[in-house]
């Protein structure tokens, strides 16, 4: 599994559904460079079970991401047409209607491969045919990208393990705090709590109070 932290987020241009129903053919995270932070996350597939709990949870917290100047973008290996259908299916019928942030289509699996979250790979068979070994879907990868397009945080879960939106918001807060104040954030840090200077004296001062 590649570690992308500290590196430029892989660039892509792909089809997507935005605003809950509008299709676009050339969606890119480049539109946010210099303007917004990005939470870019992968989920395995449309019309599944754990996935809608995460997708809807991000939408429910949309105002909290917006006030932090963060764009939330989802991605799976489904087509834009599958995204559109799911986005226009009522929640009570297994859909995710009401979700407004972009969902990117990665049918070619090139985006999942670039972020190294694809749960398998292509290999040559005995007769030279190309075979996919593994599961042709993305793991639950999540990447926090700063305004300069640099990945600052990543986490990857296996298919059954849903993520925590609270933890994503905490990481956004920690990143923005360090950028604004020059201090580092200790374990389980939350806004309003003590941070510390990245020096031996700073660590000692923090530990003496905790």
Could you give the CA distance from residue 106 to residue 122 in angstroms, rounded to a whole number? 16
Q: Are 77 and 112 in contact (CB under 8 A)?
A: yes
β-strand partners of 67: none
Picking from 131, 153, 128, 130, the residue whose alpha carbon sits closest to that of residue 142 is 153
Residue 24: helix, strand or coil by DSSP? strand
State the catalytic residue, choosing from 29, 39, 51, 144: 51
Q: Are 11 and 48 in contact (CB under 8 A)?
A: no
Could you give the CA distance from residue 77 to residue 153 in angstroms, rounded to a whole number? 22
For residue 185, indicate whether it is catalytic. no
Q: Which residues does the annotation mark as catalytic?
A: 51
């Amino acid at each position: 599994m590649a570690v992308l932290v500290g590196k430029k987020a892989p660039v892509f241009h792909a089809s997507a559904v935005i605003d809950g129903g509008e299709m676009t053919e050339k969606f890119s995270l480049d539109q946010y460079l210099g303007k917004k932070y990005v939470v870019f996350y992968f989920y395995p597939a449309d019309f599944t079970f754990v996935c809608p709990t995460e997708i809807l949870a991000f939408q429910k917290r949309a105002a909290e991401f917006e006030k932090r100047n963060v764009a939330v973008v989802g991605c799976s290996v489904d087509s834009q047409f599958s995204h559109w259908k799911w986005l226009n299916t009522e929640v009570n019928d297994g859909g995710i209607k009401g979700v407004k942030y972009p969902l990117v289509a990665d049918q070619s699996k090139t985006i999942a491969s670039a972020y190294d979250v694809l749960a398998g790979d292509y290999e040559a068979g005995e007769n030279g045919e190309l075979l996919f070994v593994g599961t042709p879907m993305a793991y639950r990868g999540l990447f926090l990208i700063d305004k300069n397009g640099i990945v600052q945080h990543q986490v990857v879960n296996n298919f059954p393990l849903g993520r925590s939106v609270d933890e994503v918001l905490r990481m956004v807060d920690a990143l923005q705090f360090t950028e604004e104040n020059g201090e580092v954030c200790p374990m389980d840090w939350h806004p309003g709590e003590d941070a510390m200077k990245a020096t031996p004296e700073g660590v000692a001062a923090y530990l003496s109070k905790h």
